[in-house]
A and B are shown apart, each in its own frame.
Chain A
Amino acid sequence: MTEVKKLVEKEVLMNGTQAVAHAAMYADVDVVAAYPIRPYTEVMDTISKLIADGELDAEFIVAEGEHGQFETVKHASLAGARTLVGSSGVGWLYGMEAIVVTATDRAPVVAIIGNRALDDPGAYGVEHNDALMVRDVGWLLVWVDTAQEAFDTTLIAYRVAEDQRVLLPLGISMDGGFLTHSEQIVRLPPKELVKNFLPPYNRGKYLVHPDNPITVAPQVNEDWVMEIRRQHEEAMERARGVIVEAYEEFKKVFGRYPGSTNELQMPENPFVEPYMIDDAEVVLIGMGTVSKPMKVAIKNMRRQGYKVGMLRIRWFRPFPTQDVIKYLANSRVVCVVDRDYSMGSPNRGGVVYHEIRSSLYDLDQRPRVINFIGGLGGREITIQDVEKITKIGYEHRDTPITKPVYWVGVRGDPW
């Protein structure tokens, strides 16, 4: 800690994508594969400039499409290189074949997903369905909320993904526009300290190199694939412990909690961010930047006597079931705000809603769960929207839910 005080942090104004690019530079990535699609693209714009300026020594590959982009980093990663990649919306889906096998090949690629609607009709605003496409195929997934958290989480991402107990790809999701393109103050730690936090990438006996002539991803059928899936699942489970270790180590090395710009306001859980939750009867749940209007609305509502709090889901895979139970067990109503939608799902709700409901199912005393679909295609979720959500939740403290899913602010659809 004494060393930390001597090396001074730098405060810089940058947006979410620039913060990630700088973190990748601090992490000394070796191979970067780029293909443009907004809103993630500025990560690569920034990286390319950092390489051109000699700040970062890395191979910069411009791929012919997202499929190639993700194949490139997958193979670079298998050959022992630390990699950075990313995409948004339909670009992420175009690369999906390669993205899925990146996980099954156990390549700890770090990808930035600038969340974006799945296109038609031409939408490019934020929506979380793009990143959620990999929720079932063995990617670690984390949602960040501020540029500072984007920076810190990128460093944590390499440490967690490359850990020999994990070796899984990791997607860092950030809300398109709201975070990718809004500038905030970011505290950059002294570069020298990053070495203390982030060990070099070591693939060990899984390295593809003539000195280690292994065969990777040979064809399997029914005789082995179950065992492989099971190992994959166990690595995902081990990631929980590795994530906790990484956050604690971050705190030790940099003298502050990841994502915090202020030592006095240190959140204490890596997986979720609780806000005014201790005595809350109604808890709002969301991922990403929706926490901003939520926090303001909660302050307003608290002044009016509403006991309302918030739980922001930070890590989505592995899903923080125990933390969700811990924070929600004593609440009466949970209002899940989904910036995504699962078409034709039970109750016709969102993805996070279903995960939360599933997490709470085994409790004897379950809170009621209401789902709010909002902010699709980049539409703003306003403070007034959140206040209305809270009031709907509040009405159901003692009365059963009549309508499980509300669409927030859809024209011609009173809610």
Chain B
Amino acid sequence: MVEKEIEEKVYKSIIKTIKDTPLEEFYTSGHRTCQGCESALVMRFLAKAAGQRTIVIGATGCMYVANTTYYSTSWIVPWVHTQLGGSGAAALGTAAALRALMRKGKIKQEPINVIAFCGDLGCADMGLSGVSNAMTYDYNLLIVLYDNESSANTDIQETSMTPYGAQTSFSRPGKQRRIMKKRWKKSVVPMIIAGHRNIRYAATMTPAYPLDSINKIRKALAIGGPTFIHSLDPCPKGWDYDPRFSHELGVLAAETGLWPLYEYIDGEIVYNEPTKSIVEGRMKRKPVKEYLEKQGRFSHFTEEDIEHVQRMVDEMYDEWEIPGVMPIKSLNVKISDK
């Protein structure tokens, strides 16, 4: 039943090649994001993937400040601002309003996509409880975490999504302490899928893989209910690299294994793109050094620091119960009768 439903609803919505993507844009000119901004690409993909019958809600963050300056907007679909920690609640409110108004015959009955996006500060930190609450209801809504690993609109501050050791204005290397950010990046998607039973689709993505990204958004909307996507968005300003390498860094994040690409569909993990080859043993992970040395935010790293990151990534694939996804080691627990 479930498989058949997915067969009919989801795989029909999948785009086979990049040539088959719709030409219409619903996120267009008028924004003033930085050169090489991958988050702007995420906005474009999500609007393109969702189409015209969509309401987009954007939390405070760089994608608010850069995209919707008063008297100019880059959104063709309706767009509403929500507060930094409000994405989950705002999506709930919108979806609830649509359901009530349609049921009561106050507006036309039709499927309308509700998508809320939030940055790492707004989603993974402050807004996490709201996102989690939204995931416990059965409304059709998609929450997209666009993660540039810092608070990019306030001049690059540390968040819980900032990777180990990266320089931000809250985590500058100094004379006494080289590594200020010792916390490891939070795993949001596993947290969402492990903690919310009714959620049927969640995924990680990076706009370096456009078709994969667009299809993930389409699948989320087709499966429906509360859904969640976490996108890693290289950010030239915050990560300190030449803007032309944005895509390259996205690809490297996946190929080094630092950013596993996978989706969770109805209780199953499916790996995508290079992560699929890595997990299936058909491809060797690239050393994390290749990814780290291309970014100014890691310029203070010594060989020791790089080794530490490499060890942590190795552990993700060699020791975790679900490689690269669940930070739980295999215990081989035997259930005893006694």
Contact = CB atoms under 8 A, between A and B. Distances in A.
Q: Do A and B bind each other?
A: yes
Interface of A: 28, 30-31, 33, 57-59, 61, 63-65, 67-81, 97-98, 101, 105, 200, 208-210, 212-221, 223-224
Contacts of A221: 70
B93 A31 contact: yes
Contacts of A76: 93-94, 96-97, 100
B77 interface: yes
Interface in B75-130: 75-83, 85-86, 88-94, 96-101, 103-104, 106-107, 112, 129-130
Given A76-B96, A215-B68, A215-B73, A64 B89 contact: yes
B77 A30 contact: no
22 contacts: A30-B100, A31-B96, A57-B100, A57-B104, A64-B132, A64-B133, A65-B129, A67-B83, A68-B129, A71-B83, A71-B130, A72-B93, A74-B93, A75-B57, A98-B86, A213-B77, A214-B78, A214-B79, A215-B73, A218-B72, A218-B81, A219-B65
Most buried by A among B53, B65, B83, B96: B96
A71 B93 contact: yes
Contacts of A213: 75-79
A75 B90 contact: yes
Contacts of A28: 104
Given A61-B93, A71-B90, A72-B89, A78 B80 contact: yes
B86 A30 contact: no
B271 interface: no
A71 B83 CA distance: 8
A75 B80 contact: yes
B192 to A, nearest CB: 14
A8 B163 CA distance: 69
A87 to B, nearest CB: 14
Given A81-B100, A213-B77, A218 B88 contact: no
Given A31-B93, A72-B89, A79 B77 contact: no
Interface of B: 52-55, 57, 64-65, 68-73, 75-83, 85-86, 88-94, 96-101, 103-104, 106-107, 112, 129-130, 132-133, 137
B338 to A, nearest CB: 41
Given A64-B130, A71-B86, A219-B69, A33 B93 contact: yes
Nearest to A212: B78
Given A80-B107, A217-B80, A31 B129 contact: no
A86 B95 CA distance: 20
B78 A68 contact: no
Most buried by A among B69, B70, B75, B130: B70
Nearest to A216: B80
Contact of B103 (A57, A63, A67, A72): A57
Nearest to B54: A210
Given A215-B73, A218-B73, A79 B98 contact: yes
B196 to A, nearest CB: 13
Contacts of B101: 30, 79-81
A2 B86 CA distance: 50
Contact of A67 (B54, B73, B89): B89
Nearest to A202: B106
B130 to A, nearest CB: 5
Contact of B97 (A81, A98, A105, A223): A81
Nearest to B84: A97
B292 to A, nearest CB: 34
B80 A223 contact: no
B106 A75 contact: no
Contacts of A77: 93, 97
A67 B85 CA distance: 8
A74 B106 contact: no
A30 B92 CA distance: 13
A200 B55 CA distance: 23
Contacts of B80: 75, 78, 208, 215-217
Contacts of A75: 57, 80, 82, 89-94, 97
Contacts of A105: 81
B75 A215 contact: yes
Nearest to B116: A75
Given A30-B106, A74-B93, A209-B107, A215 B79 contact: yes
A75 B81 CA distance: 9
A27 to B, nearest CB: 13
Nearest to B75: A215
Contact of B69 (A71, A72, A73, A218): A218
A33 B91 CA distance: 13
Contacts of B130: 64-65, 67-68, 71
Nearest to A97: B83
A219 B33 CA distance: 14
Given A59-B96, A72-B96, A80-B107, A64 B88 contact: yes
Nearest to B26: A213
Nearest to A214: B78
Contact of A210 (B53, B57, B69): B53
B104 A30 contact: yes
B78 A208 contact: yes
B134 to A, nearest CB: 9
Contacts of B92: 61, 63, 68, 72, 75
A99 to B, nearest CB: 10
